[in-house]
Amino acid sequence: MSEEKSLNFIEEIVAQDLAAGKYDAILTRFPPEPNGYLHIGHAKSICLNFGLAKHFGGGTNLRFDDTNPTTEETEYVESIKADVKWLGFDWVKECYASDYFDTLYGFAIQLIEKGLAYVDDSSPEEIALQKGTPTVAGTGNAYRNRSIEENKTLFEAMKAGAFEDGAKVLRAKIDLGNPNMHLRDPLLYRIKKAHHHRTGDKWCIYPMYDFAHGQSDSIENITHSICTLEFIPHRALYDWGIEQLGIFPSKQYEFARLNMTYTIMSKRKLLQLVQENHVESWDDPRMPTISGMRRRGYTPESIRDFCERIGIAKRENIIDFSLLEFCVREHLNKIAQRRMVVTDPIQLIISNYELGEEILHSENNPEDPDGGVRAVPFSKELWIERDDFMELPTKKYFRLGPDLMVRLKSAYIIKCDSFDKDEHGNIKTVYASYFPESKSGSDTSGIHVKGTLHWVSAKHAVPVTLNEYDRLFKVEDVAGAEGDFKDYINPNSLTKVTTAWGEPALLEDSKEARFQFLRKGYFYQDTTSTQTALVFNRTVTLKDTWAKEQKK
RNA sequence: UGCCUGAUAGUAUAAUGGUAGUACGACUGUUUUUGGUGCAGUUUGUCUUGGUUCGAAUCCAGGUCGGGCAACCA
C-alpha cells in the first residue's frame, strides 16, 4: 500500500470526482463499432476503461456503436465479445446503440420542436461547400428556415421511407460561423435503406456518431466517457446535445491512442491486409489484432502488463515493439514448459555410446521448483542444430567444432572427433564421443564446458512444423512513412520451417500449453495443429546476445 | 493562414513551486547444464527566449516544432 503507483491524468479526474462526491460509483464504457476485429490499441482502451472501474469501484458497459449498417456485421460483434473476455474483463451490461434508435428518434423530434434541428435537402457536395473552410465562415441555405411543423412532417416522412438515400438529412441548427467545424450545423440523421445486423429493415434513417454516442452514454448513465484525441473537437457537440436534451450529463475525456513500431493500428488498413491477402485472416499471428496475438501465443496477462506499462497521456506516441516482446517474454519465462526442438538438423553420432538408448530427465521449468521433470529419450544417433557446429570455430564460439567439447542439455558432455560433408559441401554428420561419468545430475567428470546444446534422439523424434514470424512491416513508423503503407510490408514476415524435429513429450502435451523451445523461443500450438501434424507458432524469440555479438 | 491540442533520455512515463525518478532499449560485469533467466552497474533528458520567485519541468508572456479539425464514417 505504501508503494502506490502515481495516477494517470484520467485516474486523477476520477479520484477528484469521487472525493468531491460527484458520483457514488463510476460507470465507464468500451464502445467499439462492430466493423472489424479488436487490436492492441483497443486493448489499451479496454484496460483503461475496465481498469478504472475495477480500481475505483464501479462498472463498465460493453457497447456496440452500431449506427452504420453498411459496415457492421454480427461476426465482428462475436469476435469483440470473445476478445474482451479473453483479455480477462467482464462487462456490467451488453449494450447496443441500435437498442436506443427509438429513444434517439424521440430526441431528434425534441430538437426539432425546440427549433434546433431542420431537414436539409441539399446534396453532400452542397452541404460541404456551405460549411465554409476553417478560416471562412459557412453560409446557410433556405432549408435552414423551414418551420418546425414542416421539419417534423419531413423528418417523419424520412423515417417512413418516403425519400431515397441522400435525398434529405436532419441537421442541428447551431452556428454556421463557429470556428469549430463540428458545430456548423452538423448532420444528425441520414437516410440509408440498408439492412442492419440487429434491427433488420425496421429503420431507413440512422443517427450519426455525434447524435448517438453522447446520447447513448447519457442513457446508460455513463459517468466518464473516455475516447481518443481525435474526438476533442466533438466534445463541444457532445455537451451541446446533452444540454439541449436535458439528459444525464456524461462527460467526455480524451487520451492519446496507441501507436506501435513496425505495425499499423488502423482498422481500415488491417481490413485491407486481410482482403488483399497480405495476411491469411484477421487472426493471422502477424496481425496486431487481439485474436492474432492470441493465436500467436501472447497471454492476456502479458498484454495487460503491456497496457499498464505504456501509461495514459495526451501526447502522441509510438511505442517500441520491443516493450511488448519484453512483456510476453517475462510472463512466458515463468510459465512456459521447456522442450527441445531442433529446427535445422544435422546428425550427431555418439561413437562410443553402447547402451542403445536410455531415458533421461529434464526439468520442465527452471523458474518453477515445482514444475517437475519429463522423460527425454537419449540414443546413439541424435539431431543437433546446424548452427551449433562450426568447422572453423571463432574465438568466442562456445559450441561444437573439431576437438571441442559441449554438454548436451540434461545428458552428457561430448567431444567432437570428426565430421562428414555431403556432395554440396554442407556438414552432414558430426562424430563425437561422450563421457559416461558426466551424466547430468551425477557429473563426476570434473570437466567444465562453456556451451550447452539442445538435441533430440533421431529415433524418437517427432516431426513438427514451425511458423517463425518476423515484423509485419519493414519500417518503424509505418503510418508516418511516405506513400502507400503496403509498400513497406515485410515479404519475410513468415518463415515456415518444415525440417524440425521435436522431443516426443510434445505428443502428450496439452494444446493450450505454452512452450519454450530451448534456446529458440516461445511457441504455441497453432489452431491448425493436429496430433499427427504438429504446428507451432513462434510467439517471440529468446533474447539473443550471441546474435548481437556476431553482428559486431 | 482560423480553431483545438500537445512538447521531460532512443521510446514511453513520473515528479502537481523545493534533490529530475522509473521502465523498456543500449552498454559493462557477474551467475548459469538455455549465449535464456537472475543479480550488480553504466549511459543519455525538462523544445526555445524572456519574466515572476529565495527557488520553475511545473506559474506567466512570446516564439519554434508536432498532431487534429471542413466523411450522409466512427
**ipTM computed for the complex:** 0.97
A193 is catalytic: no
pLDDT of residue A5: 78
- CA atom of A256 to C1′ atom of B66, Å: 14
Distance (Å, whole) CA A168 – CA A164:
8
Nearest nucleotide to A228, CA against C1' atoms: B68
Query: Within 7 Å: CB of A542 and strand B?
Result: yes
pLDDT in tens, chain A (552 residues): 334 678 999 999 999 999 999 999 999 999 999 999 999 999 999 999 999 999 999 999 999 999 999 999 999 999 999 999 999 999 999 999 999 999 999 999 999 999 999 999 999 999 999 999 999 999 999 999 999 999 999 999 999 999 999 999 999 999 999 999 999 999 999 999 999 999 999 999 999 999 999 999 999 999 999 999 999 999 999 999 999 999 999 999 999 999 999 999 999 999 999 999 999 999 999 999 999 999 999 999 999 999 999 999 999 999 999 999 999 999 999 999 999 999 999 999 999 999 999 999 999 999 999 999 999 999 999 999 999 999 999 989 999 999 999 999 999 999 999 999 999 999 999 999 999 999 999 999 999 999 999 999 999 999 999 999 999 999 999 999 999 999 999 999 999 999 999 999 999 999 999 999 999 999 999 999 999 999 999 999 999 999 988 877
* Residues A412/A330, Cβ–Cβ less than 8 Å: no
CA-to-CA separations, A541 to A57, A365, A468, A469, A547, in angstroms, rounded: 39, 17, 9, 9, 12
Q: Which helix (H) or strand (E) holds A308?
A: helix A300-310
Q: What is the pLDDT of residues A513-544, one digit of tens each?
A: 999 999 999 999 999 999 999 999 999 999 99
| Angle ∠(A13,A19,A24) on CA atoms, nearest 5 | 95
Give the closest residue to A118 by CA, choosing from A153, A80, A72.
A153
A308 is catalytic: no
Distance (Å, whole) CA A31 – CA A62:
6
Domain A267-337+464-550: which topology?
A: Glutamyl-tRNA Synthetase; domain 2 (1.10.1160)
pLDDT of residue A549: 87
CA-to-CA separations, A524 to A332, A508, A514, A534, A537, in angstroms, rounded: 11, 14, 5, 10, 5
DSSP letter (8 states) at residue A160: H
Q: What is the pLDDT of residues A338-383, one digit of tens each?
A: 999 999 999 999 999 999 999 999 999 999 999 999 999 999 999 9
Question: Chain B positions under 7 Å from a protein CB?
Answer: 1-8, 10-16, 23-27, 33-38, 66-74
Share of chain A above pLDDT 70, in %: 99
Distance (Å, whole) CA A513 – CA A297:
9
Nearest nucleotide to A311, CA against C1' atoms: B13
Output the CA torsion A263→A264→A269→A272 (10° steps). 20
The single residue of A81, A152, A192, A257 carrying the catalytic annotation is: A257
Distance (Å, whole) CA A447 – CA A445:
5
Was domain A341-454 assigned CATH 3.40.50.620?
A: no
Nearest nucleotide to A180, CA against C1' atoms: B3
Q: Which helix (H) or strand (E) holds A291?
A: helix A290-296
* Residues A463/A536, Cβ–Cβ less than 8 Å: no
pLDDT of residue A1: 32
Domain ranges of chain A: 9-255, 267-337+464-550, 341-454
Q: What is the identity of the amino acid at A477?
A: D
pLDDT of residue A4: 63
What is the radius of gyration, based on Cα positions, of chain A? 31
Which CATH number does the domain A9-255 belong to among 3.30.420.40, 3.40.50.970, 2.30.29.30, 3.40.50.620? 3.40.50.620
